[in-house]
Amino acid sequence: MPRKVIIDCDMGIDDAVALCMTLFDPRLEVLAVTATEGCVTAEQANDNLQAIVSELDPDRYPRLGMAQSTEGAPAVDTRYLFGEDGLGNAGFESSHRQRALTADKIIIDLVRANPDDVTILCLGPLTNVALAFRREPMLPSLVDQVVIMGGCLSGGNITPCAEFNFYFDPVSAQEVLRSRTTKTLIPLDVTQQVTFGLDIMDELPASETRAGYFLRQILPHTFRSYRQQLGQETITLNDAVGALALLEPELFKFHQIGCDVETGGELTRGLLIADRRSQPELRPNVNVATEVRANEVKQYIIDQLMTSGHAS
């Protein structure tokens, strides 16, 4: 039986790659894709959600859940890296073909309808999941598990100490990490060990396939902006690694660690606190990926995209 999954993401380029990897995989039943504000505004995230899923047009079309603006979100502008639309200025049409339900409502409905059976793969700020847990206090115990790309054990990307998804909405990140549900965390330290050079462009599915065409629209911009803005010849695809941890967890090493999130610090907003002392005060509450077989993960992601191409 395929595993039931809801994919909650903030609709940037690496989120889109993760959707390419998952929407065609017969091991998964993607019940819904839900949008959250983060690397693009809520409005842009909703446009991108509809555009990505209709471009890929998988046989099993998921339900779509819409993002709402995040209260207290910091002013962050990632357009210099991901383009005006967060998708490398690909100019996809947004079709608005489904009746718009909010992401938290879709999450609540689907988890209630499939108790203990739904995994939520979180590839953006944890706003929607926290909102769903707040609105329906029984929900954390009805979710099978939450797999999160977010946080970092050492050195952030948006501030010296915080990873973007946790920084954008630290209150929600804290609520989800503190919740009773089973949590797996794939932090930045692990995702950034998997890097891709321009040669990935030669290993993508053919441009006649929907996945191949789509990836060729979004990836070249990423290489350009990493080179021009960051002086890097290789890119990272954090959410693709997060998705792979769901599909192939044996390529990672995990440890149960007591984790929390700083919500209010002047310099430390969104900092992941991981109590790795031999006598921790924080009760181990999160299964944290601490090591990755980076070369194998990279090859697996490329193979997974090729398989999606054959299916699209």
Residues near Ca ion (CB under 5 A) are: 10, 15, 123-124, 239
16: amino acid identity, one letter: A
**Cβ atoms of 285 and 259 closer than 8 Å:** yes
**Partner from Ca ion, ligand RIB, none contacting 305, C-beta within 5 to 8 A by type:** none
For residue 206, count other CB atoms closer than 10 A to its CB.
Answer: 12
- What single DSSP character describes residue 157? S
Interaction partner, residue 164 (Ca ion, ligand RIB, none; CB < 5-8 Å by kind): ligand RIB
Q: Does 163 bind ligand RIB (CB under 6 A)?
A: yes
- By the rule CB under 6 A, 12 interacts with ligand RIB: yes
The answer to the question of residue 149 lying near ligand RIB (CB under 6 A) is: yes
Among 123, 200, 272, 286, binds ligand RIB (CB under 6 A): 123
Binding ligand RIB by CB under 6 A: which of 4, 6, 15, 106?
A: 15
CA torsion sign for 166, 170, 175, 177 is positive
Nearest distance in Å: CB 310, ligand RIB? 26
Nearest to 173 by CA among 135, 129, 143: 129
Q: Specify the stretch interacting with ligand RIB by CB under 6 A; choose among 10-18, 91-99, 176-184, 277-285.
A: 10-18
Q: Which residues in 235-254 contact ligand RIB (CB under 6 A)?
A: 238-239
The three-point CA angle 49-53-59 to 5° equals 155
List all residues 6 or more positions away from 303 whose beta carbon is below 8 Å from its beta carbon.
none
Tell me: does residue 70 bind ligand RIB (CB under 6 A): no
Among 5, 7, 8, 10, binds ligand RIB (CB under 6 A): 10
CA angle 139, 149, 311 (to 5 degrees): 95
Look at residue 175 and give the partner it binds from Ca ion, ligand RIB, none, a contact being a CB closer than 5 to 8 Å depending on partner kind.
none
- Among Ca ion, ligand RIB, none, what does residue 157 contact (CB within 5–8 Å per kind)? ligand RIB
Is 47 an interacting residue with respect to ligand RIB (CB under 6 A)? no
Q: Indicate whether 169 belongs to the interface with ligand RIB (CB under 6 A).
A: no
Q: How far apart are CA 151 and CA 170, in angstroms?
A: 10
Kind of pairing between the strands at 145-149 and 118-122: parallel
Distances in whole angstroms, Cα of residue 288 to Cα of each of 47, 68, 246: 32, 29, 13
Which stretch, 6-14, 48-56, 110-118, 132-140, contacts ligand RIB (CB under 6 A)? Answer: 6-14
47 binds, among Ca ion, ligand RIB, none (CB under 5 to 8 A by kind): none
